[in-house]
Amino acid sequence: MWKIIKARIKQGYRTLKYPKEEPVFPERFRGKPVITGPISLEEVRHKEFDPTGALTDSNGSAVDLGKLLFNEDVKKVCLQGHLVYSQDYRMAVSKREDLILKNNELKLAYALEEKIKKIFGRSLRLREVCAGSCNGCDSEIQALNNVVFDLSRFGIEFVASPRHADGLMVTGAVTKNMELALKKAYEAVADPKIVIAVGACAISGGPFYGGKEVCNGVDSLIPVDLYVPGCPPHPLTILDGLLRILDRLEK
């Protein structure tokens, strides 16, 4: 017992001080992209490094964060170094169209309607649904429950049944085999309810877009209230979006 106590004292306080203090990321972290110059039509058509078509030059250079896989290779397309990754983890939005990054501006997620927010009591119970993912996004979601992020300190918890939930957190491109299961899970959640799409696959179908066995994202079947881009998104990107819709952040 004494060994356990000594080990615990040695470990110290491990939970992040976020949101009171801004987190520090390693240099290799790939956060919100920054467009530093024009993206040419030739670069947009380069499917080897941009297989999902996240880059566009229509009406000016832009990046669709809902399609972007945050792969390092995509920077090879922009030979002049016109696309770089920043250390900004804040990318969750409330509307699909807000994921189109243009002029390096992003309209971040906003708080839920006052009536819904009042019912939830600034807390949230979520049922996670893996609708055909590679488990990358699911692993990041699971990390939210560890001692570092400690999701429950914000009044947000995952539950075992959609009947006990305020909403769904969905990963994966929604395979045909999961289509009915997702619809039934959505119907089982009592109104009012919210849906959160996590990762490129859940938002747009990701690299599986157009495949015969996928539904090209969650909002092709059920309405989505929060989009969290990434492949996979960092736990703090997910957490930032959750706190924004609950109106728990000042900026």
Per-residue pLDDT of the chain (251 residues; tens, 9 = 90+): 888 787 777 777 789 999 999 999 999 999 999 988 776 656 556 667 778 888 876 556 888 999 999 988 877 776 666 788 999 999 999 999 999 998 888 999 988 887 777 777 778 999 999 999 999 999 999 999 999 999 999 999 999 999 999 999 999 999 999 999 999 999 999 999 999 999 999 999 999 988 899 998 999 999 999 999 999 999 999 999 999 998 887 66
> Do 92 and 108 touch, CB atoms closer than 8 A?
yes
- Domains of the chain are 114-245 (3.40.50.12280)
Residue 10 CB neighbours (<10 A): 7
Cα separations (Å) of 156 from 121, 125, 187, 239, 242?
Answer: 11, 6, 21, 10, 9
Long-range pairs, 179-183, Cβ under 8 A, ≥24: 179/215, 179/221, 181/129, 181/131, 182/129, 182/131, 182/218, 182/221, 182/222, 183/221, 183/222
> Do 242 and 228 touch, CB atoms closer than 8 A?
no
